[in-house]
Amino acid sequence: MPIASHTSFMRRSIEVAKTNPRHPFGAVIVDHMSETIVAEGVNQTRRTPTQHGEMDAINNYSASGANNWKDLTLYTTAEPCAMCMSAILWSGVRRVVYGTSIPTLMQLGWKQIEIRATEVVARSHRPDCEVIASVLVGECDALFHMVAKARKGT
């Protein structure tokens, strides 16, 4: 998939994330054969604690009745946590593209499990899942910087 496509789909993830400005974790799932968005998700942890943006997108894709997981790429504003990355691997998604890293989230005060997405992949039954980091990192970081600033009251 061309880099231009990665930035286009990441921009959509950012727009989805903006629908929950207090927890701007947005995700889109793209069929990389047709380059079309097949599902979107945003952090819904106020509803249930495990409903991160990636989990919401995975659940929305599943609810659609579709199941062509091997042709999918998941775009997300932040590096998937260990729970989300594991769910991505179990689903069969072949590629993950993210913006903000777990270390950056931690520096900004977000609670995170300090296990990188690539480590989850390396220790899994799916070491072929591709992880692409730092796509539109500046724009994604800005989402989380704004929340951190608001929490500090500055």
- Residues labelled as active-site residues: 54
* Residue 50 C-alpha from the chain's centroid: 14
**One-letter amino acid identity for 68?**
N
Task: Give per-residue burial for 116-142: e unless 16+ CB within 10 Å, then b.
Answer: bbbebbeeeebeebebeeebbbebbbe
**One-letter amino acid identity for 72?**
L
- CA 30, 83, 47 angle in degrees (round to 5)? 85
